[in-house]
Chains A and B, each alone.
Chain A
Amino acid sequence: MSGRISQPVAGPLPCAADSVSGPVHYAAVIRPAFYRWHEGRFESARLLDVDRASLGSLGERITVIEAGDFVAVVATEPSLAALAADRLRVHWTSPDIRGNTSVESSDRVAGVLSRHYRWPSRLGWGESEAWVVADCTTHAARLWVGTATPEVLRQDLSMLLSLAPDAIELFSDRSGTGLGRLASDDAAADAAFVSQRIGLPIAIRLDPNYQRDVDALGMAQRWVVRGWGEGAAPERLALKTASPGAAPVVALMLTRPECREPAGNSSAERASPYVGAHPEADDAPDGDDTPRLFAEESFLDEWADERQRDPLELRLELMEDTRGKRLIEAVRERAQWRSPVRHRDRARIPVEGLLHGRGFAYCHVPNVQDSLEAGTRAAWIADVAVDPVTGEVALSRVVVGQDAGAAPDEIALGKALEHALLKPSFPLVTQSGDFDQWGRDAASAGDPPAIDAMIAPLGTPPTTSPRLPAARIEGGTPSWRLSAATLAPGTAAIANALFDATGQRFRQPPFTPARVRAALQGEAADTRPDPGLPARRPWRRKGWLGAAASLVAMGSVAAGMMPWQPAMAPIPHPAAGLYSQAAIERGRLVAEAGDCAVCHTAGPDGETNAGGRAFDTPFGTLYSTNITPDESTGIGNWSYAAFERAMRHGVSRDGRHLYPAFPYTAFAKLSDADMQSLYAYLMTQPPTAAPAVENDLRFPFNIRGLMAGWNALYHDPKPFIPDPTRSALWNRGAYLAEGAGHCSACHSPRNAMGAEKNGDDYLGGALVDGWEAPALNALSKAPVAWTETALYDYLRGGRAEHHGVAAGPMAPVVAGLAELPESDVRAIAHYVASLLPITDTAEAARMAEATLAKSAATVDGFESGERLYNGACASCHDADTVAVFSRAETSLALNTNLHSERPDNVIQAILDGVVAPRAGGENAGEMPAFREQFSDSQLSDLMGYLRARFAPGEPAWQNLEARIGALRATAAGP
């Protein structure tokens, strides 16, 4: 049906309805407050108790599962399960931690270069959001999950469910990449366990929530690589590993205490293609060469950088294998490799806002008979482009050469590489589920890399061509799989290219935007803090943004309680081309989420963002300022540091304090990446010369310096900190709503000093600009309880079935939200739903029916109002048998404004009408203005009737005529 836009964002279930044993239920898991996989051992907080009462009105619709330290909630609707998981309060013990035993000291012996490399237990949470479905009994299990490692998953499930491995059927449309496990395995195990426990098919949403598992499960392998020699090439290489192995699925370790310390891995020796290299294989995991190759190939690149050598030449010099040398030479020619200026301290200047780099890596994997000569060889040259503002890494070109191995020809090899690389979610470089990560559907996913696959022209093909045994996965699989050996050098090639681009060495995958940004801002790239433990920072280096970062730090210190702030030096307008299109686009989304243009544009005819809109406050009239990059009247000569100080601390570039009508109290919560993107966006917009309009404030509010005291009392400039006990969706929603979205600026009441109230008053409803911003918390007066779906429909399309349309100052907010990726609006809806009294869709429909039934009765004593209603309103607002296009779709009986304590919004709507927030929507709410048609007393009669008929349970509004007169005098429409 048109106009309905609430589709599940993760798409349809992966299984047909008749292939499962019953109606699918939805589950969400609640992980311990702390857990981690550390040195081959699982440590976690232990479950004390689950406070079921915390579910409130949801309680009767939710099943809570407890087993060991495993907690999950089950519901019939996905949004209810997600909401219950965010509402349920669970108490845990403090964790039992053994402390960090692994101190990685770098050898500083002369003539020895030593480096540590690590490989994570889970490379990422998954490739894209999807449903994972499990249908399990005590004798058999069927799972629909996109797993990269089906055999390991099957083993884990066999233990978890006490089933024989061949009783477990896996349906997957995904092929392995040889890069290791994804957290989709953990989601599958969660679904399987819950399904077997309650005997129903269970769907669990694989989404960035599972990033917590990725972070908690830490490292699977650690490699130490040493090279000896004073010359250009190492005389000897040694690789050593102490590998706890990849963690089993989290559900197994939470439900079975005996599985917290699984048996160690078998050891194996692997030969290296380079002279003198040998793994000291005390604990090398069997069969998987990728982590070792990552370590070895990264190390050679580091060696080449230390000795200022061409890394490709270095390999050729080290190798004796002629076939391998010829492959490398062929790839070098195809990619037109030029010896790079490879010093870490060389200047790296962004081109079109991007840092470009190129990296090389090679591998030679023996075949099944351990014959090195006949093994598979592959060489990669990867080109990357790094956005220093957002930290995003794009693979721009990949040249992959393979000698005659498993691939039948270059076309098939190219196709298989595309399959493994072109998915926007290639787990090495994609999003990590950070709270400031923007959804993907609106932002451009970037250009896919140009893939250049080649089979090296070699004389004699190898005697045996190793093929991986085809994984037993059913469903649509690509016709041909890449061998792990072909993909193996990819990770190191990208890491080496990242070093070339940024001067930062990444010694463990994946290369997510958050890690890349952190590295560029001067934090060490090769450490990832253990969750919940203080991070060690072995060394610091000022990166590309280092200078900017220290300026920011200065700003933070300076903006204390000083009534006079120093001016920041004006700068020439930043050159175009300093920022990437992706950063500018991200900034545009931040600006839309923040509705900058709504306040900074003077009415429909004003120039966008040129300022001049008036705000009537209890302290006098304020005018918004020009935020276009005009150098004399706008912010064109503001440095980033000055911009950030204004956004986070409310201090203008010239040192004057700003008034909190500009919600810097909310904008302070923006992440650095979003703040820089916003700056990039604003600075690249067309400049408009428009001098500021003088404010008209009463004494003493016109003394700006007093704001220093206000800030000390009421402003907390801390950036947003995610709540680890809530879901990723909730944290994303909270970040958007509390930060850029500044919901509380209108929806929270303010105290006498104009500061937002908190606690029970947070989002408790307030008056702003002659409109009432209704309560978004337990104080909500909505006659029908909201559902998460209804909130989403309202925010996204401007209308919710049982609530009506967005009007007044909310209309431009909805128009701005329409620009955001769908997932971000969904996150806001989820966050707001966690604050409101919420219900499910069936109950909401019943409540609506009951409310409508009450309003059908005629009311006595309001005859003059009824006559006005029948003449002016009924043609659109009465529910007729004949569907009329211009009819109001939502009955007035369901309208929150008619049930509110205050008549303001009803008066506003009748006086000045309603303008559809989103043109082209299904009759998304338009109403003519009746300002000229009704006198104050007529309007008072009409509203008395409306209140009595459509909100029969509420007391009559008092002093209506006076309020109508007051609003008629001030309000000039939205």
Chain B
Amino acid sequence: MADCINLTVNGRSERFALDPTTPLLHVLRNDLALNGPKYGCGLGQCGACSVLVDGRAARSCVISLGAVAGRHVTTLEGLVRDGRPDPVQTAFVECQAAQCGYCLNGMIMTVRGLLNQFQRPDRQQIIAALKHNLCRCGTHIAILQAATLAIELNLADVADGESAT
């Protein structure tokens, strides 16, 4: 049988005696009951399953468990710190940027991944980052508004964090 695979999920060390080719999404939802990431297309096309791997957005349905061995995986649940939602989550709530909401996990995680790399992305960068996240309800305008608000909230949050320390 396969050797154990160790990784960190939302700050906790986890250990799995599973086939390393198991899709990460299945492990997150079925073994850890983390249902933030959604099963959409299963082919890496729609983005509903997005998580962060080492701070970068990743489609967990096409990534195997073995590929994230030793890495840090963050799901939607893991964005909450000390009971406070992440600035990106707050922005999406404030803008009410959802219809059915199935794509929203992917939208939030992708914007989070973008802000991890660029604190002040321009509109073109936001559109490029979200280009491959599909929304069937047509909420794109509200989602872009939320992403723009998220930049401000995130900057304020970073400034708070710095003054607090």
Contacts and interface: CB of A to CB of B under 8 A. Distances in A.
B45 interface: yes
Interface string B31-63: 000000000001111010000111011110111
B63 A875 contact: no
Given A920-B70, A927-B62, A872 B43 contact: yes
A875 B47 contact: yes
A875 B57 contact: no
Q: Which 10 A-B pairs have the closest CB atoms?
A: A919-B66, A885-B58, A875-B132, A885-B53, A885-B56, A886-B58, A882-B129, A920-B69, A919-B20, A886-B59
Interface in A914-945: 915-916, 919-921, 923-924, 926-928, 930, 933
A927 B43 CA distance: 9
B57 A926 contact: no
A698 B118 CA distance: 64
B21 A876 contact: no
Interface of B: 20-21, 42-45, 47, 52-54, 56-59, 61-64, 66-67, 69-70, 113-114, 117-118, 125, 128-129, 131-132
A920 B21 CA distance: 11
Given A875-B59, A881-B128, A928 B43 contact: yes
A652 B69 CA distance: 44
5 contacts: A875-B44, A885-B58, A886-B58, A916-B66, A919-B66
A468 interface: no
Nearest to B70: A920
DSSP majority for the A interface?
loop
Given A875-B132, A876-B44, A919-B69, A886 B64 contact: no
Contacts of A919: 20, 64, 66-67, 69
A923 B67 contact: yes
A60 interface: no
Contacts of B58: 884-886
A885 B63 contact: yes
A885 B132 contact: no
A107 interface: no
B113 A916 contact: no
A631 to B, nearest CB: 27
A881 B63 CA distance: 21
A916 B63 CA distance: 10
B24 to A, nearest CB: 10
A881 B45 contact: no
A871 interface: yes
Contacts of A881: 125, 128-129
Interface string A34-55: 0000000000000000000000
Interface in A216-240: none
B128 A875 contact: no
A880 interface: yes
Nearest to B62: A928
A795 B19 CA distance: 24
B94 to A, nearest CB: 23
A923 B69 CA distance: 11
Interface string A881-921: 11111100000000000000000000000000001100111
B69 A926 contact: no
Contacts of A884: 56-58, 113
Given A920-B69, A928-B62, A886 B44 contact: yes
A881 B59 CA distance: 17
Contacts of A874: 132
A869 to B, nearest CB: 11
Given A885-B54, A930-B43, A876 B62 contact: yes
Interface string A848-885: 00000000000000000000000110111010111111
Interface in A153-194: none
Contacts of B56: 883-885
A926 B63 contact: yes
Contacts of A923: 67
B103 to A, nearest CB: 13
A872 B44 CA distance: 8
A702 to B, nearest CB: 37
A302 B57 CA distance: 74
Contact of A926 (B45, B53, B64): B64
A119 to B, nearest CB: 51
Contacts of B70: 920
B71 to A, nearest CB: 9
A919 B132 CA distance: 26
Given A881-B129, A886-B62, A926-B62, 14 more contacts: A874-B132, A876-B59, A882-B57, A884-B57, A885-B53, A885-B54, A885-B56, A885-B58, A886-B59, A919-B66, A919-B67, A920-B70, A921-B67, A928-B43
